[in-house]
Amino acid sequence: KAGVTQTPRYLIKTRGQQVTLSCSPISGHRSVSWYQQTPGQGLQFLFEYFSETQRNKGNFPGRFSGRQFSNSRSEMNVSTLELGDSALYLCASRQAGGNTGELFFGEGSRLTVL
């Protein structure tokens, strides 16, 4: 079974641009979560999608958005990039829609904003 796949793995953007990151969950997994990891703030929850619906959202500005498609693949978008958005963005999937169990993480997309 293929793991969680995130693309692109690395990207460099400049302030004011926007970026879209993609995540393909493990086959059969319907829940996809996104996390931002920075040296200063650590791992912070962005949002979670289940069956194309956003079920939970972390404390991030509206510049951060996401969506999930009918095949469970998910994208997240960050508009009007700021230097502080430089981070490792991690996607995680899990199978069920109930209480949180084990998350399966992708390798992440490392975003650098110049």
Partner 1 sequence: SQQGEEDPQALSIQEGENATMNCSYKTSINNLQWYRQNSGRGLVHLILIRSNEREKHSGRLRVTLDTSKKSSSLLITASRAADTASYFCATDANNAGNMLTFGGGTRLMVKP
CA 89 to CA 68: how far, in whole Å? Answer: 16
Q: For residue 83, give the 3-state DSSP assignment.
A: helix
Q: What is the largest CA-CA distance in the chain?
A: 40
CA 109 to CA 104: how far, in whole Å? Answer: 15
Binding residues among 33-52 for partner 1 as defined by CB under 8 A: 33, 35, 42-45, 48, 50
Beta bridge partners of 67: 75
Please tell me whether residue 100 binds partner 1 under the rule CB under 8 A: yes
Determine the interface stretch with partner 1 among 13-21, 22-30, 76-84, 92-100 (rule: CB under 8 A). Answer: 92-100
CB of 107 to partner 1, least distance (A): 5
* Residues near partner 1, by CB under 8 A: 4, 31, 33, 35, 42-45, 48, 50, 55-56, 58-59, 88, 90, 92, 97, 99-108, 110
